[in-house]
Structure 1
Amino acid sequence: MSWFEIKIKTSEIAIEAVSNILCDAGAGGVMILNPNDPDFHNQSEGKWDYYDPQNIKLDFEGVLVTGYIEKETIEASIGMIKERISQLKAFGLDPGLGELSYEIVDPKDWENEWKKYFKPIRLGNHMVVKPTWETFEAHEDDIIIEIDPGNAFGSGTHETTSMCIEMIEKYMKSTDTVIDVGCGSGILSIAAGLLGAQRVLAVDIDENAVRTAKENLAHNGLSEISDVRQGDLVSVISEKGDLVVANIIAEIIVMLVDDIDKVLKEKAYFIASGIILSRIKMVTDKLEASGFKILEVIEKGEWAVVVSQK
């Protein structure tokens, strides 16, 4: 098997979509170089960089997303990645240059080098996401999520994750069962568990995400209260939740609304994020048409989170 480094020149608004495409192609995680990342420019006490400034310079306008894939051959994966990037405009996401390059790399060259891009970051009001190898002087009320970015965690703009965690902090009770749809690395599941959820059910269609989420939940001491499953929501979850969170794109949220309704307890909350601003009405219209009451819509940067209740 060979390791291939795949680099994609894209736009800031397409970071999460391109990252997901790489993960679906077999990358365990991504590195993101984004010169416009607000956490890079807006430094203040209690804020932590993603990047060393020396590693943030790009020779084009946009963002560089890099992933590593282990394959015998890479041509089929490259074809799939290019095709899916070309389809992003249909979902209202401009991929920018959308240029892709790749090369074979020696694992020893990047096995530890990529770690310099990752530092502890704050998400929500009390959560700190910390790479496993970093030290961090926590405040008294900080809740620390330990995660291995090399296996699981994209480092780009994190407005959607941050907003989801803020809403989990606001609406979740300690007696709740939380369902995390499209769990990815499991960050939202870990946040819910560390905030005191009684039970966490996480689901993702990608087997790599499922494996990584299990590892990260276990590393944070949450194996006993969590269950990570592979598949779509309807096929693998029969239980009902007090709170369901989905940090995915607007079009998929709209497709899932009626299915999510089936796994919600009475008066349960649905937190939907990953919604670009131009797609807010699409989501709220579908929720209201399906009998949901919109409780609040929060915007941060180019993204929004919608909280509703059935």
Structure 2
Amino acid sequence: MDWVRVTVDTAPGSAEMLAGLLAAEGYETLEIEDESDFGSIAAENEKYWGASDVPEDLRGIGRVIVYLENDAELPSRIRALEQTLRDIRAALPGTDLGSLNVLTRVVSDGEWKEKWKEYYRPVSVGERFIILPEWEKDADTGMRIPIVLDPGTTFGTGTHATTAMCMRLLEGLIRGGEKFTDLGCGSGVLSAAALLLGAGSALGVDIDPLAVSVSRANTALNGFGGERYRAVRADLCTDDSFLAELARAPADVVVANIVSGVIISLAPKLPALLKAGGYLVCSGILDEDLPQVETALSGAGFTAVKRESEDGWSAVLCRK
């Protein structure tokens, strides 16, 4: 299958925020190219990166790349994306979003898959983890716990702020033997992290069937088969029978790294998924949305015990 690579130019430092806003509108297959991101990653991981590794074509710019299927619906999808960009600019009149110019290019499926290897290198996350691309799985990781990922065609490298905050919170939660549930599992990186920390079992849930297969593959890369990790496709917003099934065997720790609106919608149903005294980690929350999310969680009976913020994103740790 061929794909269309839609590049949206934005201001340096704004790509993360723009990608998050597009993700909230349903654009799930995204890449972020921002000099500020590459520069900070290079500085924090000097062993694997250097200043010269910041690509020349990224200096002084930010981009968000959206991948769309190249089919008969492509023209209407591009028009819808352009309208979404206009709506975002109108909603944020004081924010420097750059030109938001759109450029399209057809790419083959193979080219898209190989794109990841251009810049994806080992990156330290939190106090204990280092994320390795599958093709660098033998790199020296020192005292850090390696998580090996092959992001494939759809999911990121596990280093986005929303994911990194979840991993840092998990470092203080998983003691050994816990039952872990990952709502919106994507690449499976959070389930892999929980299992590597000692969780007894992990369940990944995602609306995207590709996430189910990718997360299984990634947890397998880290040594966990079907006896420890299970992935299920489900729409959490509409499939009440599936939520009822989860409630019959509640977890010790649940992570919901999804958008604010879905967390708010699910809030009344989340307590049933946890054992008494269990922990809920919510991420994927824009800083300005955190009060509304916390109000919904408090109304469902949760108590917020810790908050994190990074790059305009928030995460909150709650206890049932």
What TM-score, normalized by structure 1, do the two folds share? Answer: 0.84
Instruction: Say whether residues 1:283 and 2:286 are aligned partners.
Output: no
Range with bigger deviation, 73-82 or 127-136: 73-82
The structure-2 alpha-carbon separation of the partners of 1:216 and 1:90, relative to structure 1 and needing over 3 Å to count, comes to farther
Separation (CA, whole Å) in 2 of partners of 1:280 and 1:297: 10
What amino acid maps onto 1:125 in structure 2?
E
After superposition, give the CA deviation of every residue in 1:238-268 in whole Å (9 maximum; x if it has no partner): 2311111111222221111112112111111
Report the Cα distance in structure 1 between the residues aligned to 2:264 and 2:91, rounded to whole angstroms.
12
Deviations 1:137-178 (A, max 9, x none): 1113x2111112343443597222111011111012312111
Q: Distance in 2 between matches of 1:138 and 1:59?
A: 31
Maintained 8 Å contact 1:50/1:118: no
CA distance in 2 between partners of 1:222 and 1:16 (Å)? 30
Instruction: Note the residue ranges of structure 1 that are not aligned, 5 or more in a row.
Output: none
Alpha carbons of structure 1 residues 187 and 226: separation in structure 2 relative to 1, 3 Å: same
CA separation in 2, counterparts of 1:22 and 1:48? 34
Answer yes or no: is 1:229 the counterpart of 2:247.
Answer: no
Alignment of 1:101-180 (within 5 A): 101-106=103-108, 112=114, 114-134=116-136, 135-140=138-143, 142-154=144-156, 158-180=160-182
Match of 2:254 in 1: 244
Q: Write the letter of the residue equivalent to 1:145.
A: I
Q: Which residue of 2 aligns with 1:14?
A: 18
CA contact (8 A) 1:48 1:122 kept: no
Q: Alignment identity in percent? A: 29
> 2:242 is matched by which residue type in structure 1?
V
The 1:47–1:34 alpha-carbon spacing in structure 2 relative to 1, beyond 3 Å, is farther
Aligned to 1:292: 302
Change (3 A) 1:286 1:186: same
CA drift at 1:14: 2.5
Gaps of 5+ in 2: none
Shift of 1:130: 0.8
**Residues 124 and 165, structure 1, Cα contact 8 Å, conserved in 2:** yes
SS in 2 for 1:149: coil
Counterpart amino acid of residue 3 in structure 1: W
Displacement of 1:272: 0.7
Query: Higher relative contact order at CA 8 Å, sep ≥6: structure 1 or structure 2?
Result: 1
d(CA) in 2 for partners of 1:42, 1:160: 19
Among candidates 295, 298, 302, match of residue 312 of structure 2? 302
What is the count of residue pairs matched by the alignment?
303
- The aligned amino acid for 1:161 is T
Using the TM superposition, give the Cα deviation of residue 208 of structure 1 relative to its aligned residue in structure 2, in angstroms: 2.0
TM-score scaled by length of structure 2? 0.81
Q: Which runs of 4+ in 1 moved over 6 A?
A: 89-95
- 1:64 maps to 63
Instruction: Measure, in 2, the Cα distance between the counterparts of 1:189 and 1:280.
Output: 24
Structure 1 range deviating more: 143-152 or 203-212: 143-152
**1:253-306 Cα deviation digits (max 9, x unpaired):** 111111211211111100111222212211222222221111111222312211
**Matches of 2:158 and 2:20, distance apart in 1:** 8
CA contact (8 A) 1:181 1:202 kept: yes
Q: 1:88 to 1:291 in 2, by over 3 A?
A: farther
Partner of 1:75: 75
The whole-number CA distance in structure 2 between the counterparts of 1:151 and 1:278 is 31
**Correspondence for 2:54:** 53
Whether the aligned pair in 1 keeps the contact of 2:45 and 2:124 (CA below 8 Å) is no
**Match for residue 184 of structure 2?**
182
Post-superposition Cα deviations, 1:27-71, rounded to whole Å, max 9, x if no partner, equal 4xx4321122275377146675599212452675xx312244454
Contact 1:9 1:98 in 2 (8 A): yes
Q: Is the 8 A contact 2:125 2:159 kept in 1?
A: no
Question: Structure 1's 278 and 92: CA in aligned 2 closer, same or farther, altered over 3 A?
Answer: farther
